[in-house]
Structure 1
């Protein structure tokens, strides 16, 4: 490998790593903004949040990797062009196509790695991520006391606080209502001027230390006819009330409940599911006639009956020969048969629609295993020559151009995926249409860059416009 190739690779690796982590950080922030309400205030340990963020980062690689390849390739060749290093490379007899070889090999390696990542690591990451996110979202909210609101987080207790100090632990104007269950007639109400709330060292109990309060308690009488209830009231200077926090512990759902989702499958599992579902669809289609034919009933009429007498569709001789009661009975039976037939057909159609929809979603996930690698190559074919043309490095213009092309790729791929799921496009066409649109653009930009085209030179366009304007305004000789 020549030194110039090593120079280009070193110039590519550094911005690629930086841009990859920047994009991953932005996507991670979007994840936190989306699920912040489901994570805050539930008493999670810090390592659970970190674990969820790591799994979320793994699921974002499919979006971060192509964008990083596009942005870093624009920055690399833009910086080389801005510092006139591309001019030196060309003056040494090395064409732009030969200068692209080392980065093309590196991007091909990234594409192969992306395929193996989506095949082996991404299904596991998706399984862990969705399982942990499901457990986190169904987790009960931790005990958060709101001012002037009855809080019923703990079974059998209802707590209301008039004021809560900024430290979050000191409470004032406390009312604690205790009723063991709905059927119980015992009522116990505690009023306290202030209190301090904190967790026990083992984190299994919430301790509420009340000060300067009074307790009102009603108890049933002991035996006898119409026993009188007993009312007790006593004051206290300090009292400790404990609440069990076991109900707020995070549960763990069995991962096998999520393995049926397509995001958690590799290519072999997706093909097995598709084969079994295809057999079910074919079997359902072949059994439609045998299941629906009993709803059709025919009269036993000889074929010679209509030989000399053509059938008249508008004829009502059969019903006209019956009495009104029999006519009503025949029409009612026919209506019931039609309704039964319609319900059965609707049931079969719904089942067929669900299976075909799942089959299309299966093919979408199958094609995604390959489109990630292809997207890296297609965006590199756009980014590298585009950087050589605009000749700007850094995070200014390259970022704007990269975002524009990535949005084009993302919008086209999203629309294609939607059309595939709706059944308007074949899975192969819908999932590869973005690659098919961007690849010719990349080849065109490569041709322009190899021929030193002034594609983004504003002065060249101004000269062209002035030339055309002067041509049309020039007076013709008489």
Structure 2
């Protein structure tokens, strides 16, 4: 390998790893900000949060990888141009196109790796991530007894704590309602203070109550003639009440319930689903005529009737009901109206099914194309970043970050609009999924041409000189016009 190629590879790998780490970290922070309320205060173990963050990081690769390739490429070639290393390379007789060969090989390897990642690892990561996030969001809060609130966290009990110490262990002014199987509050416990702690293994929550009273309502001893209820009151200095904590432990949903989603499938599974779903839709559409025809009644009329000597000729002005009496016309119209309503309801149900199946097919088609789109996007954004960096000749995290974010936003916005248009059936499926690549590829080719010809595309002095020439050109005309 030539020393120049080795220099380019070293100059690219370091900023690529740094930018990939930064982008992944930013996306992870966005995830935490979005779901912070669903994760904090539910008593999750640290490894559960870490596992969720790891799966989320894997799902963010499809967004972080193209942006990292674009940003690191602009930084690499911008730094080489700023330090006049590109000038030295061109002075040695090596064109920019030849200098890009090792980078093209590395980005191609990254694109192939991104394809295999999206086909084999991403579906598994999505399955783990969405199933764990679903269970975490439906998990009850670990703040079992909040201050000043009647908590119903424990089945069969309603508990209110007026005040708690900052450590959350000592409670004051406690009120406990215990419900019977008939959902009546027949037992009430009041206590001045108490402490709470969990047993080994977090199986039970124990409330140790002090200085309180217990009230209980009970039916009469002989309900047949004495319907009055009895009230029991019991004072205590100290007592304990135990509550089951099994409902507060995270319960994992069977992952097989999520496997039918498009994001959980690889290319082979998506292809099988698309083929079978399309055949099902086509067969349903082909069978509509046969099923509708059963609602339509056909009558065979003999060519020559022995009863009717002279048939009545059809008159378009009088309609098909000519010759029928008024009751017969009403009966015929009612029958036809009933048939039309039946056919209309049948077609509406069939059309709703067809619309839902078509939407599912388009959604799975989008997920199928995204696996290829990710790899091609890395190549196209590299094709934009490399010449752009050699043109602007600025390294570091200043101007390259601004330029790369602008181009990535263009790519991301166009991709998002195209995906939504495909899912809504508003555009051709292939055009909608590849419109961002179709839009950015000519830009990359144009920038490559400008970089190869040493164009000063972003040199402000060139534009200033052009503006000054235009001013000088029109200035004499304006002077003569004033005279």
Normalising by structure 2, what TM-score?
A: 0.93
1:99–1:157 distance in 2 versus 1, CA, 3 Å: same
- Give the CA RMSD over aligned residues: 2.2
Matches of 2:53 and 2:303 in 1, distance apart?
A: 76
In the other structure, the counterpart of 2:206 is 207
Contact 2:135 2:253 in 1 (8 A): yes
> Mean alpha-carbon deviation: is it higher for 226-235 or for 466-475?
226-235
In the other structure, the counterpart of 2:34 is 34
Matches of 1:34 and 1:247 in 2, distance apart?
A: 25
Matches of 1:175 and 1:457 in 2, distance apart?
A: 76
Q: What is the DSSP-based 3-state SS (H/G/I as helix, E as strand, rest coil) of the residue aligned with 1:295?
A: coil
In the other structure, the counterpart of 1:74 is 74
1:26–1:312 distance in 2 versus 1, CA, 3 Å: farther
Give 4+ residue runs of structure 1 displaced > 6 Å after superposition: 302-305
Cα drift, residue 292 of structure 1:
0.3
Contact 2:158 2:177 in 1 (8 A): yes
In the other structure, the counterpart of 1:122 is 122
In the other structure, the counterpart of 1:390 is 392
1:368–1:157 distance in 2 versus 1, CA, 3 Å: same
1:33–1:320 distance in 2 versus 1, CA, 3 Å: farther
Contact 1:114 1:372 in 2 (8 A): yes
Q: What is the DSSP-based 3-state SS (H/G/I as helix, E as strand, rest coil) of the residue aligned with 1:202?
A: helix
- Counterpart among 422, 425, 428 of residue 424 in structure 2: 422
Q: What is the DSSP-based 3-state SS (H/G/I as helix, E as strand, rest coil) of the residue aligned with 2:144?
A: coil
> Deviation digits for residues 240-277 of structure 1, max 9, x if unmatched?
22110011122122221111111111111111111111
Q: What is the DSSP-based 3-state SS (H/G/I as helix, E as strand, rest coil) of the residue aligned with 2:321?
A: helix
Q: Does 1:259 align with 2:259?
A: yes
Which residues in structure 2 correspond to 1:358-369 (within 5 Å)? Answer: 358-369=360-371
Cα drift, residue 235 of structure 1:
2.6
Q: What is the DSSP-based 3-state SS (H/G/I as helix, E as strand, rest coil) of the residue aligned with 1:166?
A: coil
Q: Does 1:293 align with 2:293?
A: yes
In the other structure, the counterpart of 2:169 is 169
> Mean alpha-carbon deviation: is it higher for 161-170 or for 63-72?
161-170
Cα drift, residue 239 of structure 1:
2.2
Cα drift, residue 302 of structure 1:
6.4
In the other structure, the counterpart of 2:46 is 46
Q: Does 1:93 align with 2:93?
A: yes
Cα drift, residue 317 of structure 1:
6.3
In the other structure, the counterpart of 1:446 is 448
Cα drift, residue 424 of structure 1:
2.2
Contact 1:20 1:68 in 2 (8 A): yes
1:193–1:392 distance in 2 versus 1, CA, 3 Å: same
Which residues in structure 2 correspond to 1:223-262 (within 5 Å)? Answer: 223=222, 225-226=225-226, 229-262=229-262
1:329–1:238 distance in 2 versus 1, CA, 3 Å: same
Matches of 2:228 and 2:341 in 1, distance apart?
A: 66
Contact 1:367 1:427 in 2 (8 A): no
Unpaired runs of 5+ residues, structure 1, are none
Residues paired across the two proteins, number: 474
Matches of 2:139 and 2:303 in 1, distance apart?
A: 72
Matches of 2:320 and 2:370 in 1, distance apart?
A: 63
Q: What is the DSSP-based 3-state SS (H/G/I as helix, E as strand, rest coil) of the residue aligned with 1:395?
A: coil
Cα drift, residue 427 of structure 1:
2.1
Contact 1:41 1:144 in 2 (8 A): no
Contact 2:314 2:320 in 1 (8 A): no
Normalising by structure 1, what TM-score?
A: 0.94
> Deviation digits for residues 412-442 of structure 1, max 9, x if unmatched?
1111111111212222211111011111111
> Deviation digits for residues 29-74 of structure 1, max 9, x if unmatched?
1111222222222221111111111111111100000000001111
Unpaired runs of 5+ residues, structure 2, are 306-310
Contact 2:213 2:233 in 1 (8 A): yes
Which residues in structure 2 correspond to 1:173-188 (within 5 Å)? Answer: 173-183=173-183, 187-188=186-187
